[in-house]
Structure 1
């Protein structure tokens, strides 16, 4: 309509007010979010002490100093990956407050034309928060060179999208495996208390707990976070305190493990077995990706505060205490955690451990919701229902369909694998794969966007890259022992994402190429053969500019037009609430007493009045709306147009939405027919339909069928 409203202002300036900047947030709000994040983000990495030493020394401890070698590995791994890489580097690479693999891809797409997804057109950019930038004149030549190489290479663009889908699929796979291994490990502690608890009973009890966990997701991150955070804080306090107790009681000399020499000695003594054992050590950093994937639910400072102030110190103390205990009790390594607990604290720790394990599952579940939302907005995932569970924090979402699928998958994996050993093998592959992909994207961002000094980039690759590739080689060694599971998940998810994204892009460009020109629209409107009936019709489209082909198809088959036509462009923006006259934000209520049509008609009338007076240069545009309200705008042209709109509204409002059927074009090959005619249409029939997504009143909705040959 050629006006500036809150949508334009918020979308244009979103970077400065988003969750990523937090400049306007009070310290108290950040501290509240830091507390909430304890119950969402750190449950996974916080419960790793349950199984790290037992998973590392699967064949027992051959040499007492091997404990120091493994402790040294754990210490430097925790320091390099979660603390240095993620807390101080990766979190800076968020995209408007969102994290995860798709956020990194989206960030790259904003600084270079590397995306295959059609979200970089001029009009699209005006109503979204995309902001293409070229390297500044002071930028390094390598940034410009890399940008040019990526933009001019179709292979690079396809590879980036492929890597993004792979990373996203692995994170979702992580969201399936985390609940399984965490709950099974904690509930397994019952076997130490009574012989009546068998492995099968542990499995069924774990399944019951998992089902309950997924049932509470609908209450939202805000409520779940406040409920879970105190438990995790108590958990960290207890494992840290017990760690100090064991450290003093058994062997304070484990402090020697800070010397990396013990890592070298460990590999020298054990050679291949030491390399294989890295698959157990890497479990100490499971859940690290949740800090980045869940940043949209919180803020960067809140996660940095909670990690540095409580999580990291508590974990280091816990592992040092367990190492001290093992130095004097090497035969008890298969159940290190529960055996190292002082007798009077056993049952309290068991209860807290089970609760913490349940909460551990929350980190990747919330992260999965976030990345599905991102992939959906980029056209890489079938339509699902996004429920925004907080009016204060736009990143906190819940997706019912995904929650149900995750629950079924978790139950199936728990019932099928039954032991933490095999699940741990699968878990390690998912975790390290995502970390390695994140590092690859981060190197591109360092060079092309941040323009980091080349020595720092090389240092990052040599240190962090080497560590992650070493761990990746180790976990892949156990591919046939359960490690295939996350790759199988990834293959299924990537197939779905590729099919949907490929046809989505084809449809978008088809509509773009087939859109109707303004001249053609005027010709149709003035055609005397068309019958005009009273009423107001709204045509929905995802095109930001132009008349969608559905209108041309409609007119060609139904030579009848309503007296007033409104073309509605659908574009999602991260705005929770807007002014009442400009609704709707995602947290605004919709109801039949004050429907969207009423607001639209009022805005149309004001628009007509304003446009007339500004064209006559009689009053400033800001005063034109007041003239209409006061009844002063009694010019014949204005009155006639407004009467036309009012009569059309009284006659009835209809929502016309395209029900597009896509088929492969006649010249297409067999792959196109399989992709479009079968795979895509199967997915489309089984996902949420557009009428429900756009919340269109069912009684006034008319679907117009049209066949797209792609």
Structure 2
């Protein structure tokens, strides 16, 4: 597979679509004046990617002031869900009432060790470490794995990606045979690639489904407490109040995580202080014997007494860890240390004291199990509990869209200080509508709680599987720890999941229904996205096409710079000859741009642009790969144009320096004419504004050639930049089956037409946009 981004100045072999992890790529040392001998070992793409060393990692350590600031914000965003679970855990566990007060010791012991095992040990100490440059969630795990193995269904990996500052790739090929074996098996098995992708979007769909269920159960539980002082309210009226509260909650999302965190943070902090204080009061007043629950023996006694009923009750106990996945999914909004501080210092002691206080109270008044929480606790914080999964849904949708797994939506970055804080209006209002519908239909938390447990534990179990793969292939952990991780944590999660599935018909089908719909949308979009990319790869233009254009004297060159957009990274897209055929002209400078999202969270601006000449150089056609991470903000049109032209000028200057170094290394001290013959032959081009050094066939010195070329680029910039956007209509080929035609011709095209259009995502200016239409049969 040929790569037209090859730089001819060093005679490098054309490289295929290999992954950067499959070989050893050593970045050259950068210095103010690199020696010619050093320059000979690599091409200009490496020079461009490594021109400025260093760069601040998104996951880099920050000062304690910033960390505490983020930890405070995380209270109002991440922990509202888990922190308000005391609203419904005991009532969901003892649905039929408390038959033996000793059962409270067993359930309290289950809550203690569930919180210690899963949120604390698994997530705080292990899973948070498996972040992708500071970003969490299942798609972050998928992108992390895809950097070490070629598992992406789109073959757009490039060796040069490994030189990006935040890539942080350490090839396991020479260190651990096990890691190499796993990597090889994954790369060579199309089925494993598809399975891993499906598992990832399943977990993603479940998390987004949590974004629907969490607001419903939290707000309904909170508003349900009004019954304590307003017995005349009907359940329908309470549901109406909950719906109004939900609408208000979603309307404030547009303010962004930063402002929402500051607004909700004090409320949640007050909440934690109150439930901890009241918990201590209840333990002291009612029954200090509840402290015996720290002895895990009571768990065994509980199951011996209750048997199957004890196993079924686990579906209620598991609600004590609702929102745990938000610690990982919302990581990009904060940082690892802030999440750990928020959980271990504030949340864990507060909720444990709250549960103990409730258990101590129920030991004396077991008949109040259905509404014991509302005797003395305020409910304002429960409304905010929804924030964790809403923010998580925004972050995950942003990641999945950029990896080609979700239709186009507008991602708004709401903070200049914290990179991962995003807001997606379409998703926000879709979640609001679904929440209102679920609340209006069910009106109580019983069935929603049954659904909630399945969604929560399912996502946690998939995270366990993916982190196990990270431990084996990337961290190269000891085999015994790799085995213990899924056995201990996965075993506990499967036990809870089996209990939650027992109530499948009583509302447990909700998360699976949401997940099925979301997986269908994501699967269809990615399926066509992959096939469209492969079509372009198969039908890419020959490297000789531009050379043939250069010989066509009747093809006029338009003043200015043309920017042609394409998703194809590995060659010249088929849209170019289609453009030349329909509009028989070409701009004096043409830049064929591929906007590529690589599997890391963000890329420094100075590493974003990779250029190549398309031969012949004198024709001034360039290939450019513009690389973004999945959390990078796309610049506005004017800023993007300035960055593009600025980096193009730098590329030309670096190419000139490289060419000069190469010739001096070869000992070429001949006349300028002779050195000109050693370089590329001139091509006569019909352009009145072409520099004299190209029109008369006499090559100037590399420095003069460089300056003239840069001046010509600037004049083209002054004449104006025209954006040429390839708009492809994708249809199923004529002999395709009925299912494929339904997927491509109807489902995909419906989504493509009804979601945001490409120019709204790439910020292409409408007054300088020329659409180039073409139909692909896949």
Please give the TM-score of this superposition, normalised by the length of structure 1: 0.90
When residues 539 and 422 of structure 1 are mapped into structure 2, their CA distance, relative to the original with a 3 A threshold, is: same
Q: Write out per-residue CA displacement over residues 342-395 of structure 1, whole angstroms, 9 at most, x where no aligned residue.
A: xxxxxxx42xx22x1121100001111111111112111111111111122211
When residues 132 and 672 of structure 1 are mapped into structure 2, their CA distance, relative to the original with a 3 A threshold, is: farther
Residues 1:18 and 2:57 aligned together: yes
Report the counterpart of residue 734 of structure 2 in structure 1.
Answer: 666
Report the counterpart of residue 625 of structure 1 in structure 2.
Answer: none
Report the counterpart of residue 757 of structure 2 in structure 1.
Answer: 689
Q: How many residues align structurally? A: 682
Tell me how far apart the structure 1 counterparts of residues 714 and 295 of structure 2 sit (CA, whole Å): 80
- Once the two structures are TM-superposed, the CA of residue 104 in structure 1 deviates from its matched residue by 1.5
When residues 575 and 448 of structure 1 are mapped into structure 2, their CA distance, relative to the original with a 3 A threshold, is: closer
Report the counterpart of residue 89 of structure 1 in structure 2.
Answer: 126
Tell me how far apart the structure 1 counterparts of residues 353 and 590 of structure 2 sit (CA, whole Å): 68
Report the counterpart of residue 675 of structure 2 in structure 1.
Answer: none
* Partner-residue secondary structure (3-state), 1:165: helix
- Once the two structures are TM-superposed, the CA of residue 248 in structure 1 deviates from its matched residue by 0.4
When residues 11 and 390 of structure 1 are mapped into structure 2, their CA distance, relative to the original with a 3 A threshold, is: farther
Residues 1:507 and 2:543 aligned together: no
Residues 1:46 and 2:83 aligned together: yes
Tell me how far apart the structure 2 counterparts of residues 378 and 322 of structure 1 sit (CA, whole Å): 46
Report the counterpart of residue 250 of structure 1 in structure 2.
Answer: 286
Tell me how far apart the structure 1 counterparts of residues 602 and 175 of structure 2 sit (CA, whole Å): 34
Report the counterpart of residue 364 of structure 2 in structure 1.
Answer: 328
Tell me how far apart the structure 1 counterparts of residues 337 and 199 of structure 2 sit (CA, whole Å): 28
Report the counterpart of residue 470 of structure 2 in structure 1.
Answer: 445
- Once the two structures are TM-superposed, the CA of residue 412 in structure 1 deviates from its matched residue by 0.7
- Do the aligned residues in 2 keep the contact of 1:385 with 1:688 (CA within 8 Å)? yes
Tell me how far apart the structure 2 counterparts of residues 424 and 300 of structure 1 sit (CA, whole Å): 29
Tell me how far apart the structure 2 counterparts of residues 490 and 247 of structure 1 sit (CA, whole Å): 41
Tell me how far apart the structure 1 counterparts of residues 401 and 47 of structure 2 sit (CA, whole Å): 24
- Once the two structures are TM-superposed, the CA of residue 127 in structure 1 deviates from its matched residue by 6.0
Report the counterpart of residue 615 of structure 1 in structure 2.
Answer: 659
Tell me how far apart the structure 2 counterparts of residues 295 and 274 of structure 1 sit (CA, whole Å): 35
Report the counterpart of residue 165 of structure 1 in structure 2.
Answer: 201
- Residue 103 of structure 1, aligned match among 140, 153, 157: 140
Tell me how far apart the structure 2 counterparts of residues 168 and 29 of structure 1 sit (CA, whole Å): 29
When residues 309 and 486 of structure 1 are mapped into structure 2, their CA distance, relative to the original with a 3 A threshold, is: same
Q: Any residues of structure 2 matched to 1:412-427 within 5 Å, and which?
A: 412-427=437-452
Residues 1:235 and 2:271 aligned together: yes
Report the counterpart of residue 700 of structure 1 in structure 2.
Answer: 768
Report the counterpart of residue 341 of structure 2 in structure 1.
Answer: 305
- Do the aligned residues in 2 keep the contact of 1:293 with 1:367 (CA within 8 Å)? yes
Tell me how far apart the structure 1 counterparts of residues 650 and 180 of structure 2 sit (CA, whole Å): 47
Deviates more, 1:260-269 or 1:242-251: 260-269
Q: Write out per-residue CA displacement over residues 526-545 of structure 1, whole angstroms, 9 at most, x where no aligned residue.
A: 21242333332110123334
Q: Write out per-residue CA displacement over residues 424-472 of structure 1, whole angstroms, 9 at most, x where no aligned residue.
A: 0111110011111111112222222222222223333332222111110
Residues 1:285 and 2:310 aligned together: no
Report the counterpart of residue 172 of structure 2 in structure 1.
Answer: 135
Q: Any residues of structure 2 matched to 1:538-557 within 5 Å, and which?
A: 538-557=563-582
Report the counterpart of residue 507 of structure 2 in structure 1.
Answer: 482
- Once the two structures are TM-superposed, the CA of residue 229 in structure 1 deviates from its matched residue by 1.0
Report the counterpart of residue 221 of structure 2 in structure 1.
Answer: 185
Residues 1:151 and 2:226 aligned together: no
Higher helix share: 1
Tell me how far apart the structure 1 counterparts of residues 702 and 469 of structure 2 sit (CA, whole Å): 61
Tell me how far apart the structure 2 counterparts of residues 606 and 446 of structure 1 sit (CA, whole Å): 41
* Partner-residue secondary structure (3-state), 2:407: coil
Deviates more, 1:556-565 or 1:412-421: 556-565
* Partner-residue secondary structure (3-state), 1:67: helix
Q: Write out per-residue CA displacement over residues 180-231 of structure 1, whole angstroms, 9 at most, x where no aligned residue.
A: 0001001111101122322112111111111111111111111111111111
When residues 279 and 699 of structure 1 are mapped into structure 2, their CA distance, relative to the original with a 3 A threshold, is: same
Tell me how far apart the structure 2 counterparts of residues 522 and 49 of structure 1 sit (CA, whole Å): 71
- Do the aligned residues in 1 keep the contact of 2:656 with 2:703 (CA within 8 Å)? no
- Once the two structures are TM-superposed, the CA of residue 562 in structure 1 deviates from its matched residue by 2.0
- Once the two structures are TM-superposed, the CA of residue 312 in structure 1 deviates from its matched residue by 0.4
* Partner-residue secondary structure (3-state), 2:544: helix
* Partner-residue secondary structure (3-state), 1:665: coil
Q: Write out per-residue CA displacement over residues 507-554 of structure 1, whole angstroms, 9 at most, x where no aligned residue.
A: 122222222233211211321242333332110123334322211211
Tell me how far apart the structure 2 counterparts of residues 500 and 10 of structure 1 sit (CA, whole Å): 37
Report the counterpart of residue 149 of structure 2 in structure 1.
Answer: 112
- Once the two structures are TM-superposed, the CA of residue 153 in structure 1 deviates from its matched residue by 2.2
- Do the aligned residues in 2 keep the contact of 1:11 with 1:128 (CA within 8 Å)? no
Report the counterpart of residue 655 of structure 1 in structure 2.
Answer: 723
When residues 170 and 596 of structure 1 are mapped into structure 2, their CA distance, relative to the original with a 3 A threshold, is: closer
When residues 189 and 648 of structure 1 are mapped into structure 2, their CA distance, relative to the original with a 3 A threshold, is: same
Please give the TM-score of this superposition, normalised by the length of structure 2: 0.82
- Residue 364 of structure 1, aligned match among 366, 389, 394: 389
When residues 563 and 457 of structure 1 are mapped into structure 2, their CA distance, relative to the original with a 3 A threshold, is: closer
Tell me how far apart the structure 2 counterparts of residues 135 and 273 of structure 1 sit (CA, whole Å): 48
Tell me how far apart the structure 1 counterparts of residues 608 and 661 of structure 2 sit (CA, whole Å): 26
Tell me how far apart the structure 1 counterparts of residues 399 and 54 of structure 2 sit (CA, whole Å): 20
- Do the aligned residues in 2 keep the contact of 1:53 with 1:280 (CA within 8 Å)? yes
Deviates more, 1:216-225 or 1:481-490: 216-225
Tell me how far apart the structure 2 counterparts of residues 142 and 553 of structure 1 sit (CA, whole Å): 48
When residues 458 and 533 of structure 1 are mapped into structure 2, their CA distance, relative to the original with a 3 A threshold, is: closer
Tell me how far apart the structure 2 counterparts of residues 144 and 578 of structure 1 sit (CA, whole Å): 33
When residues 598 and 57 of structure 1 are mapped into structure 2, their CA distance, relative to the original with a 3 A threshold, is: closer
* Partner-residue secondary structure (3-state), 2:371: helix
- Once the two structures are TM-superposed, the CA of residue 645 in structure 1 deviates from its matched residue by 3.8
- Do the aligned residues in 2 keep the contact of 1:369 with 1:399 (CA within 8 Å)? yes
Deviates more, 1:304-313 or 1:456-465: 456-465
Report the counterpart of residue 622 of structure 2 in structure 1.
Answer: none
Report the counterpart of residue 462 of structure 1 in structure 2.
Answer: 487
- Once the two structures are TM-superposed, the CA of residue 480 in structure 1 deviates from its matched residue by 0.7
- Do the aligned residues in 2 keep the contact of 1:657 with 1:702 (CA within 8 Å)? yes
Aligned Cα root-mean-square deviation (Å): 2.9
Deviates more, 1:285-294 or 1:379-388: 379-388
> Unaligned stretches of 5+ in structure 2?
1-6, 8-42, 610-625, 665-699
